[in-house]
Amino acid sequence: MGDPGPTTWRTGPPPGGVSAPRYDDPPVQLPGVTPRAFLRITQLTVVIVVLNIVTGAAVRLSDSGLGCPDWPTCSQHRLTPQLSLHPDIEFGNRLVVVVLCIATALVLVAARRRSPRRRDLVWLSAGLLGGVLGEAVLGAVVVYTKLNPYVVMTHFTVGIALLTDAVVLALRAGRPHTGVPVSKVGAREKRVSRVMLVLLAVVVVAGTATTGAGPHAGGPGAKRLPIALEDMTRIHSGLVICLVALTIALLYLLDHTGAPGSVLDRARVLLGAMVVQGGIGYAQYFSHLPALLVGVHVLGATVVWMAMLWFSDGLTHHDADAPRDETAGLTIDSAGADRIATDPIGAPTTTPVAP
């Protein structure tokens, strides 16, 4: 038998007149995401996280915590509630959680499609999505433990942790580079700011415990924390007074050490938010804790927390663009950590010079 020769591919239809399917089309590529678009996505996610916290507080303050006694369905085999106030409020908060899950998933996809890609943004986005999914499961635990006050407190605290992740992600996304961090203030002011952040976290937990000891249990028959409301209120307010005094002291230090105007402005905004929040707290207590005013106080807590994160972020300046090698994990400081020096006669050398 002779050599059949080189194989040739049929370009026309096969016998029978039916064309074979072709699979040589280029794969579909997702569009890239610009830094500005990614920033807008993260800012929108911050708003949704705050909405989740506020609607969760509305569930508790309206005694709607068991409006949907099952999870993930509302009642037995019904996914949605019948038209009734308490089930609708509880189900509304669940819808916000669903929207938040979708938003955080989109943030993670956008972080991976961002050009240029930054590893810190990808990790923060992944942590945010994982935290939201965990928070949703924790919501189920709240329902099945019949609004156990310790679980409810944990639920709110995790919500604040998610807000922290979302705000830090948005702040970092707003930077055009990932340069070498340079402190704008002295080491003493830095330490005071860290103490303030820790103290504010304690204040938030104490405020959550104060609500847990108060009349807003989230539903009829729900247990309360075994501490008198008056005692818990004194502890909470005492911590707030210490925090405000420490903030005033830091503002004094910043002013007398020549801190940049941007740092002073952020400190004043933080102090103003604390004072307004403190006024709302005293007003709600002396008016016997009306639900609406308590809800405003919860919103104020998120505002103060975001103001603290914004202030802390403003204490550091990222000096210059530092391109990051995603494969080797190395950072190149183009600002001059390895700046080229010159010898006495002007010839270039490769000796590193301190900035």
Q: Per-residue pLDDT tens for 281-315?
A: 999 989 988 989 999 999 999 999 999 999 999 99
C-alpha closest to that of 171 among 280, 314, 302, 282: 314
Residue 344 has pLDDT above 70, yes or no: no
Residue 73 has pLDDT above 80, yes or no: no
Residue 331 has pLDDT above 50, yes or no: no
Residue 32 binned pLDDT confidence (cut-offs 50, 70, 90): confident
C-alpha closest to that of 108 among 133, 91, 145: 133
Q: How far apart are CA 201 and CA 161, in angstroms?
A: 10
C-alpha closest to that of 301 among 276, 332, 331, 265: 276
- 322 vs 229: which has the higher pLDDT: 229
Residue 219 binned pLDDT confidence (cut-offs 50, 70, 90): confident
3-state secondary structure at position 154? helix
Asked if 138 and 55 count as a contact pair (C-beta separation under 8 A), the reply is no
Global pTM?
0.79
pLDDT averaged over the chain? Answer: 81
